[in-house]
Amino acid sequence: MLAERMMNAIRILGLDPGLRRTGWGVIVLDGARLSHVAHGVIAPAETLPFSERLLCLFEGIAQVVAAHGPHEAAIEETFMTANGSSTLKLGHARAAAMLAPARAGLEVAEYAAKVVKKAVVGTGGADKSQVAFMVRRLLPTAGDATADAADALAVAIAHAHARKVRRLGAVA
């Protein structure tokens, strides 16, 4: 029975992309139960050329995938800023973050920030402190994760909830 339950457990990698700091978090969804596996931040040196910073993100996430063996990945969508150059650079970081799990054969789901906040806090207008608070409540063994890692864990939680909804919709 335990072996059968473990086969049904899904390991999810959540990613909160950024050029300066990319948060990552791995959780396990076992039935309705969520549990924390690991989390962290990949922070390329700001003195590196742009292309090397992107490579650092890609390689860092590839190492996380290799170390934790997720079955699925989820990433936060890019939000538009008033500064087009900043939005474009964030898009590059997001692409680097998406490529690592995709290269490992994982499906990468995408979620808007409002969807992530609603799944974790209950409102799409939640601020970072509210998200971090709920991540601590939902995944107590995660401790006090940095804002970037907490956001990545929130993305993984949102994906877990969306997965359950899709599965229930398929049954109906």
39 exposure class (CB count in 10 Å sphere: 0-12, 13-18, 19+): buried
The answer to whether 139 and 52 are in contact (CB under 8 A) is no
Torsion sign (Cα): 132, 134, 135, 137: positive
Selected catalytic residue, list 16, 59, 127, 144: 16
How far, in Å, CA of 71 to CA of 48, rounded?
32
Selected catalytic residue, list 77, 144, 148, 151: 148
H-helix or E-strand containing 11? strand 10-16
Q: Is 148 a catalytic residue?
A: yes
Number of C-beta neighbours around residue 90 at 10 A: 19
Q: Nearest to residue 113, comparing CAs of 102, 100, 124? A: 124
The answer to whether 10 and 109 are in contact (CB under 8 A) is no
Selected catalytic residue, list 46, 76, 107, 151: 76
Q: Is 76 a catalytic residue?
A: yes
Residues noted as catalytic = 16, 76, 148
